[in-house]
Every structure is written in structure tokens, then in C-alpha cells.
Structure 1
Amino acid sequence: MIAAHCYIGGTWTEGQARETATRLNPADLSETVGTYPLAGAADVDAAVRAARAALPAWRAMAAPARGELLFRAAGLLEREAGAIAELLTREMGKPIGEAEGELKRGAALLRYYAGEGMRAVGEVYPASDGRSLLYTNRVPIGVVGVVTPWNFPVAIPLWKIAPALAYGNTVVWKPAEDAGITGYRLMRILAEAGLPEGVVNFVTGAGGEAGEALVAHPGVDALTFTGSNAVGKRVALEAVGRGAKYQLEMGGKNPSIVAADADLELAAELTLSAAMRSAGQKCTATSRVIVEREIVPVFTELLVAKARSLKLSNPLARDCVLGPVVNGRQNESIVAAIRRGTADGARLLTGGGPPRTQALASGYYIEPTLFDRVDPGSELSQQELFGPVLAIVAADGLEQALAIANDVKYGLSAAIFTKDLDRMFRFLRTAQAGMLKINGETAGVEPHAPFGGIKQSSSHSREQGRAAIEFYTSVQTIAVTPTE
């Protein structure tokens, strides 16, 4: 069992926390993974003050030198990847193969942003007087508050923290309550890499106390948040109220469209992969598959057969495809939504509850669940469930399929399966999402490519890749005019 601590101003501490939280393994509730302190507003204040004190020296450090520290962190993360992947799996239930992939992605993110220290940060413009030097420079925003979710407890923190540091900002990071132990282990890597005291500060605790204190703190210049729409909207309101910069990545209700001419075997395989891996607990997971009506029977038969063959097992098993959901609250929410789906008239094809095996009775497992005869306006089609649930929606042709795909408040990711070039381009022109896939699954994006959504899936900003510079820096326009 791991006893985690906060990290404030270069010191591991329990701060002023009077209580600790306990994380149980969602695959086996008899196992305690660890504990972490429930920090409060006073601890957040100390962390922000430490970040503020460290800012002048960090932003003055040469960008290649900052990059070297990130490069060192990547090597340390790779060295400890096996142990951290196992911890990640035990804390939040992600299958070990996917956890190992996330650790590789984390190292790649650190290396990518290490290289940012050697890239251009401004442009030169012609001056109208023919004498002056007119150019732009990018400067750090200041202290960045980082609030991260539990479903990618290594990759998402790193794709926020690494660019913040590369561009000269300091950080106060609060992980989700269900990922505090993994977050602590990642913070130890960053500290071991040699980051100066106060450059990254780590505060564990409840969102309602530590999280709100960070979001509301006047010493935080920018906020980057990934999580629910309800909380994201509160983050935005707080930031606007005091003039802080903010970046939000929130929910999705991601569709895959299957056209009549598609490779149905491929479409079924990738749709199930995107819907069920990580127990559907990805903001980019496929939760709706919109199928041209003439192929609904054969495609549904394919999906059901593949869903029933999925391996539901302890996530530490090397062949695990589908593990548990993260906690009891999430489990109850998903099962309740499944019951409401049946009550609303959808037909349950397979799954719908816990597995009928004693070996998995001690965890939060839900069988892969498929519905058909789903109304496009129903909860199953409109609301993010964040679980292993897929709704099959029939459409009379591509135009109706696109209309159904777009008729939700979210716009994160969308896919189409087709061999027809005209259909591909019609989808690319019409689909309302920040990420579009042709003959690929909605989940996943390369670590160097921009990530983000439209509508209520994000604040219309982008994370990852070169796009990150837009959020973590401000542009200065500079004119230098000679006196002679």
C-alpha cells in the first residue's frame, strides 16, 4: 500500500490535511491501493505561492535547458513504466496493456515538449518605415492551475504539464480523486528529474475543496481542465470573473457512421474497440453507431457476436480487453442508465449488468452492453454515459445519418466507415466534431497532433502538439527603431 503526499515548494508533505482518502482496487475491493491527504484551501494557497516564487527563475532559464529536464523525466518514466502501469491498473482498472501504452505515450509527450525548447517562438514582419525591426515573441502566462481526470492519469497530466513547463510557466496540479496515487507516483518522477523547487506543485484532495480553491485562487493566471461539462462550466465562469485564461476539454457523445458499402467486419471490430476498451471510459469512446438501414440486421449480428466474445477479466491479466469501471458511483450510474434505456423503449441485445461469474464478483464489472431500436432523441443517444454501452441507431441514408450524428450538444470525435470517396468528403464537410476519422475508430489521437472538440466538448482550444503554444504563452509584438 502506498501512502501518497502532496508536493509543495520542493517538499513532500501532508500539509494541513486532517484526513486522508483511501483508494480501493476497483477490480478487487478487498485490496487497498493507497491513501492520500485531503488537502484544503490552505495547502492550495501554499502551492500557488511556491509556484509564484519559482516563476521568475524558471521563465528566465534558457528554453533548451528547460527541455533537457523534460527529456530527463522521459527517461525516468520509461525506467519505471512497468511499475507505474501496474499501479495505474490497480488504482483505476484500466487493462494492463492499455496502461503500458499510456506510459509510452507519456514518455513521448515529455520528449516532444523537450524539443520545443529548440523551436521558433516568434515571427519577423516588415516595418512600414523600412528601418525598424518588427517582430513577435511568446512569453509564459505565469502560474498554471492543472486539474486532471482519472481515466488517463498519466497521459493527460503530461500533455498539460509538459508544455506549460516547456514554455516557461510554473504549475500547481490537482489530480482527480480516483487517480491520486498514480498522480503521486508521476510527481515523484518529475521531482527526480531535477525540476527546481516550486516549478511543479502537487496537491491531492476533493474537487469540492482543493479543486475549487485552485480554480478560484487569484494567484493562478491560467486554468487547464479536463472533466465533466458541469464542472468545466464552473471553471470557465470563475476564470472569466477574474480575468484568468482557461482551457476546457469535456464530454463527448461520439458517433461512428457505417455506410452500406463499408467493410462491415472492419467497422464492427473498430467500433467495438472504441466503445468497450477502458470500459468505455474515454471522452473519445464511440457511444453511438449510426447504421444505414439496409445493413442494420447483418451489422447488428456482427456487433453482438463480437461483444459476447470480449474478454471481461481482471485488468492485470495480459489478455484482458474489458476491465472494471472506476468506482461504485460510476457503476451505479451506468447500470441505472441501462435500465432507463430499456424503459425508454430501446432493445437490450446483450450485457446490461454485472457478469455472472464469482471470479469477478468483488469488482465493479459491467458486461459489454448493446442496444438497438434506439431513438435518436433518447438519453442513450444524447447523454454521455462513460461506460461500456453502445447504442445502434438506424438511418435512412447518409444525409439522415449525418443529421443524427450532429444532433447532440457535444462535438469531440466522429468516424465514418465507407469505401466511397464522395461519402468520405461529404462526411468531412458536414460532421460537427473536432476530430474526424475515415475507416478508423473515434478513440485515440497521435501525441503530436492537436486534440480537442467543438460545441460543448471544449472551450474551442486545442491541446497537444504545436497547438499547445497558443494556450501556454502570450504574444508580444516588439518594434525596435534605430535612433540614427
Structure 2
Amino acid sequence: MAERYHNYVDGQWTESETGETFETTNPAAPTDVVAEYERSSAADADAAVEAAAAAQDEWANTPAPDRGAILRETASILEGRKQELTTLLTREEGKAHAEASGEVQRAIDIFYYYAEKTRDLGGTVKSASGPQTTLYTVRGPVGVAGLITPWNYPIAIPAWKIAPALATGNTLVLKPAEVAPAVALELFEALDEAGIPDGVANVVTGFGATAGNAVVAHDDVDAVSFTGSGQVGQLVYDQATDDAKRVQTELGGKNPTVVSDSADVETAAEIVAGGAFGTTGQSCTACSRAVVHTDVYDEFVDAVVAEAEAIEIGPGDEYDMGPQVSEDELEGTLDYIEIAENEGATLETGGGQPEGDRFGDGHFVEPTVFTGVENDYRIAQEEVFGPVLTVLEVEEFDEALAVANDVQYGLSASIVTDDHSEAERFVREIEAGVAKVNEKTSGLELHVPFGGVKNSSSETWREQGDAGIDFYTIEKTVYDSF
């Protein structure tokens, strides 16, 4: 029997006032219903925001180390349930077991990290111009945070928004993506068990046009943090800024890896394949473009095709690469593969749905590599969000940089090179919020800032590390002249 989840509002698990629900299914076996959720209305979202607003002053006045103790206990509870959360994440979102386990661990680590940061939330002391004056700063919470999160990292992304918000004294309402919300609800189970006060953390499930929009639009919401598609993110940004709310958006990517003529080709192919096909390509930091020097181009294509063909596809609990999360996502990827072939790109491997008993009616697609791609092709310019890699040939490093930067996005980028001068220049000139040398584009440390440029971000605030604390706090300057 499928699990039934409710909203968590003002410390209580509640049903939607609509009386309606929706289901999620296992993308590896779509007849397998995973869970049932509340189909929340705007009124449900409003009630959650009002609960958060009512709880805000008391939570802000709670000593920061006491707030940290609740975060630490939440992390401990999640740690004790890691295996079951991993299984649940794989079953609902489709991610391979090792990837799902790593994501759950990331959420655990984030809560432990921000639990410790609560001990260091003081401001700074400066020298005053006059005598008998103490000049210093203090930080306070922004207020009520509205959080909208995607399905592709259904526990890690909620964690890296929730933990710094709570650590700094904000209250919040989360609206997780309707495609895979189970592990986010389990995170709130852990918060509840850890003793989070009523109203401080709230979650409503449902759809963006109703519940999500109501959270963003509510007058009592002071800050909005959104991760998702560029189209929806722009709407969220416009609405939030029109209402003078603090807002942060993290959106799509078309992330390149430059392969230099000095690179070890086998290593480069391994790095690119890991970035392109890990998490079934369903990551905003996934590598979708390999920009390769002509001297190593043919050898690289052979090596990366071999990497793609070595990946074992199947249900995430047993295989290297799981399915796409939904039929819509699968169809979107297959549409882009068709577009690429019609544009004149050469399909080197993949390009279809695998056949065999283990695939059933699941949303599986083969790791796909295209060559013969021009940089103005749609397959080289638009985010696919599936395991599709385009390989572009360039004749020199200047051309590689130009091609890498010639997209509307700027989230993550990497270079594989044995030339330190090239690496330094790449870091300086690449138009991306994350630059990596001899590493894949995907994968992030939790204690450093994360965000993009151009259409990958609102370019307002970063997430994670101290940057996460900056977004959720307002700095006040104090002149004390006793």
C-alpha cells in the first residue's frame, strides 16, 4: 500500500482543505505507486505562511546555539534513517542507489554544518572615530522565507535552503516539487522529532501554480529562494521583486568541459562522462558540452563513447544509471535527440530507449553522444536535462573559451588540461559561477558559495556556506556611546 503524506503546518500533520490528493510513481516501474500527497490550495499555503509569521519573533529570540541543537538532532535522526531514505529516494526519483545515498548524506552533512555555524553568528567590531564609542554590527533574520525546490535533488536542495534559514532565526514554508516530495516530507518528520517549535518550519505539497504561487505572493513572506527551471524562475523573480522581497533563484545550465590538447584523453573522457551521465544527466551542473581540441578530438570521441557504452542502465537500486524521473522528462530528452539528428549532428552512441525485460515501461534512455555539432545548434545551446552529450571540435584555446562562453547560461564549467597557464586563464575568463580544473562540472562542496551568472541565476545571492547565512540575515550597524 502506498504511503500517505500530509502537510506539516504549525506543528501538525494536516490534510488539505481541498480534500484532493495526487500520487507519485516509481519511474523505473510506473505502475508502482510510491505515495499519495495533499493537493494543496492557495488557502493551505496561506495558512502555512501565517503559522510561520506567528512563530517568527519567538524563534528569532531563541539563542542561536539552541537553534543549532535542533539542527544537530535533525541531522542525527536523518543519519539513523539513511538507508530507508536512500531506498525511498531511489524508488520515487529514480536515482541510482549510490547517488541517492550520497544525496542523503549531503543533507545530513548540511544540517550538521549549519548546526555548528550557529555558534559563530555574531557580527564584527570596528574602530569608532570618537571616544567612548563602541562600533559594531549584528545580524538578524530576514523574517519568513518561502522556499520552492525541484525534484532532481529532493532532499539535498531543501536541506541547503532550510538549514541556514533556521540557523539564522528565520521561519519558513517549503513547497517541494510535486514529482518527488517524499524525502522532503521525511526531513520534516525529522525536524518535528527533533523538537522544532510549532510554526517555525512548515511544508505544503501540491502544484506550483496554486500552492507555490501563493507562498511567493503572500505579504508575510520576506524572502524567496527558488531552484528550478529558467522560465518559472523568471516568473518567481519578477513577482518577488515586484513585492520588494529578498529573492534568490538558481536555474538552468549548459555546462561545458574544455578538453585541452595537453589533457590525458582517457582521464578527460572519464571526467566528462561522469559529469554528463551521472544522475541520468538530471542535474543543473551536468556536463552537456565537451569542447575538445582538434589534436585529441578523435581519440576523445572514441574514449567517451566507450565510457557511455560501459554504463549499465536499469532500476536505480541495482544499476549504474537509473531512469528519467517522469514520462515528460523522457519525452523531452527524446525530442532533443531527434532535433539534434535533424540539425545534422552525428549520433555516435545511444539515442533511444533500451530494450529488455528489466526496463519494462520505465522511463529509461540510453547515454547519448553527438559529434559533428555546430555551436549554434539547439542541442548545443539549450538545456536538455537528460544524459545527452554534444562534442564540439575547436582548433585552439581561444576558440574553446569563446565556444564555452557562447551560451545564455553560466552555472558550472570545467577544463581538463596539463597546462597550468591554460587552467589559470580558464578560471579568469570562463563565464560561470563555478569553475573547475581537472574535475567534472557536477558535484559541489557544501561550505563554499554556489550560484551562476547570466540566465543561470538571478545573480543576487549565492547559496551554501557563509553565503547561505548572508541571504537569510540582515546586518545592523550599532553605535554604542555610553
Please indicate the TM-score interval, normalised by the length of the shorter structure.
Answer: over 0.9
1:233 aligned partner: 234
The 3-state SS of whatever aligns with 1:315 is coil
The 3-state SS of whatever aligns with 1:186 is helix
2:335 aligned partner: 336
The 3-state SS of whatever aligns with 1:294 is coil
Aligned-residue offset at 1:15? 2.5
Aligned-residue offset at 1:469? 1.6
Residue 2 of structure 1 contacts residue 181 of structure 1 at CA under 8 Å; is this kept in 2?
no
Structure 1 residues 456-465 or 255-264, which shifts more?
A: 456-465
1:402 aligned partner: 401
2:471 aligned partner: 471
Residue 35 of structure 1 contacts residue 181 of structure 1 at CA under 8 Å; is this kept in 2?
no
Superposition map of 1:47-446 within 5 A: 47-317=48-318, 320-446=319-445
Aligned-residue offset at 1:467? 1.4
| Mapped partners of 2:369, 2:19: distance in 1 | 45
Residue 337 of structure 1 contacts residue 385 of structure 1 at CA under 8 Å; is this kept in 2?
yes
The 3-state SS of whatever aligns with 1:366 is coil
Residue 257 of structure 1 contacts residue 291 of structure 1 at CA under 8 Å; is this kept in 2?
yes
The 3-state SS of whatever aligns with 2:297 is helix
Aligned-residue offset at 1:29? 1.1
| Residue identity in the other structure for 1:387 | G
| Mapped partners of 2:154, 2:194: distance in 1 | 19
| Mapped partners of 1:165, 1:300: distance in 2 | 47
| Mapped partners of 2:280, 2:376: distance in 1 | 24
Aligned-residue offset at 1:263? 1.1
Aligned-residue offset at 1:337? 0.8
Residue 172 of structure 1 contacts residue 200 of structure 1 at CA under 8 Å; is this kept in 2?
yes
The 3-state SS of whatever aligns with 2:252 is coil
Aligned-residue offset at 1:212? 0.7
| Mapped partners of 1:182, 1:208: distance in 2 | 22
The 3-state SS of whatever aligns with 2:309 is helix
User: What TM-score, normalized to structure 2?
Assistant: 0.98
| Residue identity in the other structure for 1:463 | E
The 3-state SS of whatever aligns with 2:224 is strand
- 1:335-389 deviation per Cα after TM superposition (whole angstroms, max 9, x unaligned): 0111000000101111111002232022000000000011101111110000000
- 1:163-190 deviation per Cα after TM superposition (whole angstroms, max 9, x unaligned): 0000000010000011222221221111
- 1:452-475 deviation per Cα after TM superposition (whole angstroms, max 9, x unaligned): 111111122211111112100001
1:46 aligns with 2:42: no
Aligned-residue offset at 1:450? 1.2
User: What TM-score, normalized to structure 1?
Assistant: 0.98
1:452 aligned partner: 451
| Mapped partners of 1:17, 1:410: distance in 2 | 39
Structure 2, unaligned stretches of length 5 or more?
Answer: none
| Mapped partners of 2:165, 2:184: distance in 1 | 17
| Mapped partners of 1:361, 1:368: distance in 2 | 18
The 3-state SS of whatever aligns with 2:179 is helix
The 3-state SS of whatever aligns with 1:152 is coil
Residue 89 of structure 1 contacts residue 315 of structure 1 at CA under 8 Å; is this kept in 2?
yes
The 3-state SS of whatever aligns with 1:178 is coil
Aligned-residue offset at 1:130? 2.4
Aligned-residue offset at 1:267? 0.7
The 3-state SS of whatever aligns with 2:296 is helix
Residue 330 of structure 2 contacts residue 363 of structure 2 at CA under 8 Å; is this kept in 1?
yes
Residue 16 of structure 2 contacts residue 39 of structure 2 at CA under 8 Å; is this kept in 1?
no
| Mapped partners of 2:183, 2:443: distance in 1 | 21
The 3-state SS of whatever aligns with 1:444 is coil
Aligned-residue offset at 1:313? 1.3
1:28 aligns with 2:29: yes
Aligned-residue offset at 1:120? 4.0
Residue 117 of structure 1 contacts residue 166 of structure 1 at CA under 8 Å; is this kept in 2?
yes
What is the percentage of aligned positions where both structures have the same residue? 44
The 3-state SS of whatever aligns with 1:122 is coil
Residue 349 of structure 1 contacts residue 369 of structure 1 at CA under 8 Å; is this kept in 2?
yes
Count of matched residue pairs: 480
- 1:142-167 deviation per Cα after TM superposition (whole angstroms, max 9, x unaligned): 00001000011111000000000000
| Mapped partners of 1:429, 1:464: distance in 2 | 22
| Mapped partners of 1:235, 1:30: distance in 2 | 34
| Mapped partners of 1:136, 1:3: distance in 2 | 47
Aligned-residue offset at 1:428? 1.3
Residue 272 of structure 2 contacts residue 287 of structure 2 at CA under 8 Å; is this kept in 1?
yes
Residue 6 of structure 1 contacts residue 12 of structure 1 at CA under 8 Å; is this kept in 2?
yes
| Mapped partners of 2:450, 2:241: distance in 1 | 23
| Residue identity in the other structure for 1:468 | G
The 3-state SS of whatever aligns with 1:375 is coil
Aligned-residue offset at 1:131? 2.1
Residue 67 of structure 2 contacts residue 167 of structure 2 at CA under 8 Å; is this kept in 1?
yes
| Residue identity in the other structure for 1:69 | I
Residue 126 of structure 2 contacts residue 135 of structure 2 at CA under 8 Å; is this kept in 1?
yes
| Residue identity in the other structure for 1:397 | E
| Mapped partners of 1:53, 1:249: distance in 2 | 29
| Mapped partners of 2:170, 2:405: distance in 1 | 37
The 3-state SS of whatever aligns with 1:408 is coil
| Residue identity in the other structure for 2:234 | K
Aligned-residue offset at 1:107? 0.8
The 3-state SS of whatever aligns with 1:219 is coil
| Mapped partners of 2:310, 2:127: distance in 1 | 64
Residue 85 of structure 1 contacts residue 103 of structure 1 at CA under 8 Å; is this kept in 2?
yes
